[in-house]
Structure 1
Amino acid sequence: MPLRNSSSRYGAVHILLHWVIAIAIFGLFGLGYYMVDLSYYDDLYRTAPHIHKSVGVLVLLAMLFRLVWKVMNSNPKALPTHQRWEVVAAHATHHLLYLLIFVALVSGYLISTADGSSIDVFSWFSVPSVTGQIKGMEDVAGDVHYWVTWALVILAAVHGLAALKHHILDKDETLRRMLGLSPRN
């Protein structure tokens, strides 16, 4: 499989970024949902937020790389079986997913750095606060983060269901292309 996209297939880099980021987003959502109810005496009280923040920063870096990679590569052409409204809906969904991911990541960063502290990423490096201490920022960023992450996982689930619709009902190559599988004969 080539690294770069072609007019008919996604390349290995695009596929890898898609699935790693998708798994990370759902993992971050699940961990975030779990950790909000942790008590001070829970073993994961400090560990879960550290993992959540560290993975969030890594996803932000991966998304920035993905954006650059997307600009440097053309996407495969839409399949001839796709209706015009499906192509438009897919493009709109992808743009909205990108927007929601970046808003979720930036709002998470703002929650974590509202007190002026940096984010330690698995003890590999630290990401400093760019805002310093701003009173109440963690509350506003927290509300944004909460609602945007819910919107993100719902839209991503709809995106996944649309891919399954193409695979099961339409029997086209949409999902197979994103899995890196050879076309059906």
Structure 2
Amino acid sequence: MGFPVGYPEVLVPKLFLHALSLLAWLRSLVAALFHLLRLSDLLDTDAAAIAWPPESPPPRAPTLSALLIREFLPVAAFRDLDGAGESPPSPSGCAVCLSEFCAEEEIRCMANCKHMFHRACVDRWIDHDQKTCPLCRTPFVPEHKVEEYNQRLWAASGVSQFYQDDYTPTL
């Protein structure tokens, strides 16, 4: 059977792309000539600045709650969990980056839902002030440790020391 031979609609985009690439090449040639002749300040620099993507903001330091959540989530090598006798729910790979787990990689196993992620993947998730599993949205901190988490967060925030002078119990 085969395909029909005539595709005039394919020829126009191909010709258009060739024309655009020729124009881009000519533009870079003119820019190089201006640079060689030390006339590059005559070129429009605003157009060149638009072509580059904006600089990404510097990374923020993790919040206090993120640091505490990391303490509650254990870190282990995948090879240690693989032979622990219990069958892991997601042994094939990380649901965040979609990469396979290797034996020597550090992973975090969620306490409530038992999902596993690469340490770097879930730490980045936690650094964005997320407090639930990225896969099933179960809270990171188990219910029996929520009170301890809140107390440690309150103590570490320094707010209790700020109000300590104003708080005087009445008898």
TM-score range, shorter chain: under 0.3
Q: Which has the higher contact order (CA 8 A, sep 6+)?
A: 1
Q: Which has the larger radius of gyration?
A: 2
Instruction: Give me the TM-score of the superposition, normalised by structure 1.
Output: 0.21
Instruction: Give me the TM-score of the superposition, normalised by structure 2.
Output: 0.23
